[in-house]
């Protein structure tokens, strides 16, 4: 039996309970690098499904992954939230690993099949939540009163313990109301204030095209944060400029609805 403190010190390689479920990863994915640079699986997991607020990157094209890593390294991709820890860590990590290592990581994750990291729960009230320092939430272990969603979206891991133990079957629960899903579906088709439907670039099934990544089944917290980063120009470079007009045409409420709806789709 391991204590929470012992689990927290385990590397992704030591928490890889299901090695038969994925190809053999390169060292950059599982083993800390020079000066203890975090391996990719520390956050994105060894099968690429990510976790609450952290994107699943399995199956993304190699060139797209390398473009994003280059943007982190160059400063073209930062966060609209100056103190957001996740983006800062990603910038530091991308700069710590060599280009050869980053290419190996991109090739590995691109070779993996996409999974369904989220499970949407359609409801009008979400369980009581607690905020974790990295910016994501988890269900309050003490219980507590539910809170009305009122157009918002709430998310939490199925199990915090399984999350930190590296259980790859542990998914994110996404709590969203029927009205939010309905609004999100309409905005996907119309494009909202920007007037450009999401399907124009991301494909009719929203599973990606040669110029845009897949959106279906993605973590809503991550999607919402990227829309904010793009509309504020904190995220720039590459094809991101094509997204700035559509993102600026969405209100805060629209962004939440779009992110919640996209999370409900099958990858």
225-264 per-position pLDDT tens digit: 999 999 999 998 788 888 999 999 999 999 999 999 999 9
| Helical packing angle, 85-96 and 62-74, nearest 10° | 100
Residue 171 banded pLDDT, cuts 50, 70, 90: confident
Q: For the segment 197-208, what is each residue's pLDDT rounded down to a tens digit?
A: 999 999 999 999
Q: For the segment 69-118, what is each residue's pLDDT rounded down to a tens digit?
A: 999 999 999 999 887 888 999 999 999 999 999 999 999 999 999 988 78
The reply to whether 173 and 70 lie within a common domain is no
- pTM of the predicted structure, to 2 decimals: 0.90
The reply to whether 238 and 129 lie within a common domain is yes
Q: At 107, give phi and psi (nearest 5°).
A: -65, -40
The reply to whether 244 and 205 lie within a common domain is yes
Please check the confidence at residue 1 and state whether its pLDDT lies above 80. no
Residues counted in the chain: 267
Looking at the domain assignment, is residue 2 inside a domain? no
Domain closes at, from 87, 110, 133 = 110
| Alpha-carbon dihedral sign for residues 76, 82, 86, 89 | positive
CATH of the domain at 41: 1.10.760.10
The reply to whether 105 and 128 lie within a common domain is no
Looking at the domain assignment, is residue 240 inside a domain? yes
Total tally of structural domains belonging to the chain:
2
Domain closes at, from 92, 110, 128 = 110
Task: Note the pLDDT of residue 107.
Answer: 98
The reply to whether 55 and 102 lie within a common domain is yes
Task: Supply the range of the domain harboring residue 95.
Answer: 24-110
């Amino acid at each position: 039996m391991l204590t929470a403190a012992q689990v927290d010190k385990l590397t992704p390689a030591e928490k890889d309970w299901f090695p038969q479920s994925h190809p053999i990863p390169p060292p950059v994915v599982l083993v800390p690098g020079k000066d203890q640079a975090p391996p990719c699986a520390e956050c994105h997991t060894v099968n690429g499904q990510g976790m609450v607020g952290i994107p699943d990157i399995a199956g993304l094209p190699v060139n797209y992954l390398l473009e994003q890593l280059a943007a982190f390294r160059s400063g073209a991709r930062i966060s609209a939230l100056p103190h957001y820890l996740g983006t800062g860590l990603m910038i530091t990590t991308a700069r710590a690993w060599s280009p050869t290592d980053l290419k190996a990581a991109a090739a590995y994750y691109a070779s993996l099949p996409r999974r369904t990291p989220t499970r949407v729960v359609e409801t009008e009230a979400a369980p009581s939540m607690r905020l974790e320092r990295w910016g994501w939430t988890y269900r309050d272990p003490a219980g507590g009163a539910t809170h009305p969603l009122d157009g918002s979206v709430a998310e939490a891991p199925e199990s915090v313990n399984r999350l930190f133990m590296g259980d790859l079957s542990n998914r994110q629960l996404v709590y969203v109301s029927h009205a939010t899903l309905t609004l999100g579906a309409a905005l996907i088709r119309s494009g909202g204030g920007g007037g450009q439907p999401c399907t124009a670039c991301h494909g009719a099934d929203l599973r990606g095209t040669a110029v845009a990544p897949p959106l279906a089944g993605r973590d809503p917290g991550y999607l919402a944060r990227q829309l904010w980063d793009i509309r504020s120009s904190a995220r720039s470079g590459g094809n991101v400029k094509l997204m700035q007009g559509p993102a600026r045409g969405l209100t805060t409420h629209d962004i939440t609805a779009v992110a919640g709806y996209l999370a409900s789709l099958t990858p």
